Amino acid sequence: MGAIWSFIVAVVVAAVVLMVVSRLNLGLSVANFTSAIIAAVVIALVGAVVIWLLGALGINLGGGWIGTIVYLIVAAIVLMISDRFVPGMKVNGFGSALLAAAAIALFDWLVTWILIGLKF
């Protein structure tokens, strides 16, 4: 049961982060919270497939600055792919996707840091 709650909390947190980033006018727009929930699930699924494919091809995202840059590029591509599957979500080009990916990473880190600090 704990895994189910963890998944639900992760999806809700991701949806809230998507809504916040959407309101910053960075080139990512999400119509409503339902679209944000669907987008969070689709982004997680597409991201898992992309990371798996990269691993199958022997491409390691690595760490440090290079790993961070590669991860942001992969996240931007995931956002652009997810845009095709989620009604109510729109990404305005690769530059916007890259900026939104960086903002999503920042907000996700901040929210996770806060939630871990509260020790739910």
Tens-place pLDDT, residues 47-64: 888 888 888 888 776 677
Kindly tell me the sign of the dihedral angle through the C-alpha atoms of 65, 25, 77, 89: positive
Rounded CA gap, 9 and 7, in Å?
Answer: 5
Rounded CA gap, 69 and 11, in Å?
Answer: 24
Residue 89 pLDDT exceeds 70: yes
Q: pLDDT tier at 119 (50, 70, 90 boundaries)? A: low
Report pLDDT digits (tens) over 5-32. Answer: 878 888 888 899 899 989 998 889 999 9
Phi, psi of 62 (to 5 degrees): 70, -165
One-letter amino acid of 89: M
State the average pLDDT over residues 94-103: 91
Considering only residues 93 and 111, tell me which one the structure prediction assigns the higher pLDDT.
Answer: 93
DSSP class of residue 89? Answer: E
Residue whose entry in the numeric block shows the structure tokens 């690595």: 62
Name, in order, each residue with C-beta under 8 angstroms of 106's C-beta and a sequence gap of 6 or more: none
Helices (H) and strands (E) in the chain, counts: 4, 2
Q: Determine the pLDDT at residue 73.
A: 87
